[in-house]
Amino acid sequence: MFQILITLLIYMVLVIPIGIYLYHVATKQRTFADPVFDRIDGMIYRICRINREDMHWKTYALNLLMTNAVMILIGYLVLRLQGLLFLNPNGIASMEESLSFNTIISFMTNTNLQHYSGESGLSYLSQTAVIIFMMFTSAATGYAACMAFCRGIAGRPMGNFYEDMVRNTTRILIPLSFIAGMLLIWQGTPQNFHANFTVSTLEGKWQDIAAGPIAALEAIKHVGTNGGGFLGANSSTPLENPTIISNLVELYSMMILPGACVIAFGNMIADKRKKEGKKSLFGRQGRTVFAAMAIIFLIGVTVCFAAESAGNPVLAGIGLNQDMGSYEGKEVRFGIAQSALFTTTTTSFTTGTVNNVHDSLTPLGGLVPLLHMMLNCVFGGKGVGLMNMVMYVILAVFICGLMIGRTPEYLGKKIEGKEMKLVAVCLIIHPLLILGFSALAVSTAGGLAGITNPGFHGLSQVLYEYSSSAANNGSGFEGLADNSVFWNLTAGIAMYFGRFPAIILQLAIAGSIFAKRRVNETVGTLRTDNVVFTLILVFVVYIFAALTFFPALALGPVAEHLTIWFPGLS
Amino acid sequence: MKLFMKYLKNAVKCTVVLGVLCTVIYPAALTLAGQALFPKQANGSMVMAVIDGEERAVGSKYVGQQFEDSRFFHGRISSVNYNCYTQEEKEDGSYGGVASGSFNYGNSNPDLKTRVEADMAAWMEAHPDVKQEDIPSDLLTASGSGLDPHISVRGARVQVGEISKASGLTEEELNAIIDNNTQKKALGIFGEEAVNVLGCNLEIANRLGILTLK
């Protein structure tokens, strides 16, 4: 636990300056890097002749959808034709329709659920022109939507979609990925365009060792909270993640931007106060949100670590010493602590990269990632988690408003029927996708065919797949035999509807709040920047999740936990 | 319709420009910089050795290898046999190409119990002097990647007795080899102590004259 705490402390030191940089980029204030990036961006605007005026939220959303649709179409074509195209030294064949559909939706929605294995499923052209490309653009898209949302909530014009896309890519994603990529290469992640290597082993056999532009993909995979690995076993492989240092680099690169988003949000809201001479690193409103996310995260990581350290009682029962903890599916160089931390992080920050096998986590250790994807607001993927958390904030304000008998207000704007309806729809989509599709899967032959673990764990596999899809996370209980038409299509649909309707609704809410008149703060106004509200927020999130998901969780991981720890019960 | 075409045009321009930035300039820059500054790592960290007077790659520093010889340290259970294969296995299709991964068994899966029981029985037979409760769990559980290059320090020490008998090297020599190949916690805090199995076995092979390390 000690090393987990130190790791998180260092994170706090890193996230604040990046958050402030992000705030400056999002609000077009001066940064140290302007002399370089202004030229690059200026050149891009000239080539594209992009009109950079502010957009209405509807225009913003339509341009976002259109751009993503064009990218989906091009990516789909590359996957279908990769066998015939260039940059394919390992002779990979083209991908079939339902898998291509699933893959392209998966990467465009920033999910990165993978029903293929990178080693045998993709050519180097697809790895770069589809996977790396989508990793950048889906992250830039999510982040653009989030910043437009924050601007709207903070009472600023919502901005221009294309300008946001370009600025996010050139000023944030590419520089950070380049730095992370160089650190990974230094630690031993390959970066080349060779065919796979074959060596002769000490015992006279042959061994194949995967090659390719692994570091380039790894870097943006984490910086953009994408999560889809170059290789089948993702960041547990020593090629993607060779050392504990590379593990920390990957951990920080996926944590940095979602946390920084909250700080940028807080600073945008706090602008008015700043003019009066008050300074704070987070902004008071940002601090509330950040603290609530941090509390839920810490509870999660503690439970996961404790459960994994306790080991597997079934193996203890047959005489295998469990005092190191549960090692099935874990790597020795990471051990229990860094595996538990990575697992909680990848699902809280909705990245989906894994450094251990989630299917083999202990039942309660596996419940944490599952729950955090169901909550989908504990930092969350680039921008989207913050937007979801603001939905919960509005819900909390509304509930409190009802209790004290006042019209709810947030940030000086009245929350009324229209916003509450949008928030309710937005919050209901996610559980509807997860529970609806899980019910469909366990009641059809196509769905049942994918389950590979018997008993309660089988249900956990199904729940995990759809939670991961709907939360646009992308990690998996990988035992699930999910490359079938049923799973490719249903997971593809869950990913699509988990992403775009929520973004559009949230932009609509921001647009609606932006258009409202400001009301003056009075003594009776519910304060949203103190400890009490932080705690209320945490409770609202947990209660909402408990009401929605508890029955499903009780039948999956909780039941599995009880059967292996108390075999007398069943 | 006019508006649709305008959006479409913008979307295509945006896709092309970002495409060039992200899929041509970024990977090219990273490849060039990586190959220039860290050429060894960027090309898979290959370990070179001289066998029968000929220098060749015998593995990668970061990728585990399958070991069955009783003179060598054995690594963790791998669902993909560390991508090691013989010519026959490749020809008859039992080796299906480079892969990675694990068995994906849940804690309650009876197949997990069966596999560990079978491996434990085999292990006890090969190491009659070791008590069952002294086997650390990393030795009999599968790694996440199937390519884990490490075992725990306890996992290495517990093998020393039998390797010493089979190879003729003394236990002191073997313990020194373990120490040479133990990776400490980073800054004394992060990660776990881990022994690189390939590193140990290369040193053993070097002393037994099977190969000469470069």
Q: Give per-10-residue mean pLDDT for chain A (570 aa).
A: 88 90 87 85 83 86 91 92 86 88 90 85 89 91 88 86 90 94 95 90 90 92 89 92 94 92 86 56 82 93 95 91 92 94 92 91 94 89 83 91 85 87 92 94 90 90 92 86 89 91 89 85 79 92 91 93 85
Report for A384-393, A435-444, B1-10, B97-106: range of highest mean pLDDT: A435-444
Those of residues 64-103 in A touching chain B at CB distance below 8 A are: 66-67, 69-71, 74
Strands of the B46-51 sheet, one edge to the other: B54-60, B46-51, B212-213
How far, in Å, CA of A122 to CA of A109, rounded?
19
Q: What is the ipTM of this complex?
A: 0.94
Supply B172's token pair. 């002191």
pLDDT at A89: 84
pLDDT at B153: 95
Closest listed residue to residue A290, CA positions, set A186, A379, A189: A379
pLDDT at A275: 54
pLDDT at A52: 80
> What residues contact residue A422 under an 8 Å CB cut-off, 6+ apart?
A505, A508, A509, A512
- Kindly report which listed range (A87-101, A178-192, B26-40, B111-125) carries the lowest average pLDDT score: A87-101
pLDDT at B141 over 70: yes
How far, in Å, CA of A320 to CA of A314, rounded?
9
Q: Per-residue confidence at B67, pLDDT binned at 50, 70, 90? A: very high
Those of residues 136-165 in A touching chain B at CB distance below 8 A are: 136-137, 140, 162, 165
How far, in Å, CA of B144 to CA of B76, rounded?
10
CB of A455 within 8 Å of a chain B CB? The answer is yes
pTM attached to this predicted model: 0.92
Those of residues 463-482 in A touching chain B at CB distance below 8 A are: 477-479
pLDDT at A36: 85
Mutate to test the interface with A, among B3, B7, B16, B30 (most CBs of A within 10 A): B30
CB contact under 8 A, A182 and B152: no
CB contact under 8 A, A360 and B19: no
CB contact under 8 A, A232 and B63: no
pLDDT at B208 over 80: yes
Those of residues 502-561 in A touching chain B at CB distance below 8 A are: 560
Give the helix ranges, DSSP H, for A280-378: 284-310, 313-317, 335-348, 363-375
As a whole number, the mean pLDDT across chain B is 91
Q: Residues of A with CB below 8 A from B18's CB?
A: 133, 136-137, 140, 165-166, 169
pLDDT digits (tens, 9 = 90+) for B44-63: 899 999 888 888 899 999 99
Q: Per-residue confidence at B175, pLDDT binned at 50, 70, 90? A: very high
Those of residues 225-284 in A touching chain B at CB distance below 8 A are: 231-233, 236-239, 242-245, 247-248
Supply A305's token pair. 């670590």
Please name the residue of chain A whose CA is at the shortest distance from the CA of residue B88. A205
pLDDT at A250: 94
pLDDT at A311: 92
Sorted by where each begins, the domain ranges of chain B are: 1-43, 44-213
CB contact under 8 A, A329 and B62: no
Q: If DSSP codes are grouped into helix, strand and coil, which group holds residue A73?
A: helix
How far, in Å, CA of A145 to CA of A168, rounded?
11
CB contact under 8 A, B101 and A247: no
Phi then psi dihedrals of residue A324, to 5 deg: -85, -10
Supply A541's token pair. 């999130």
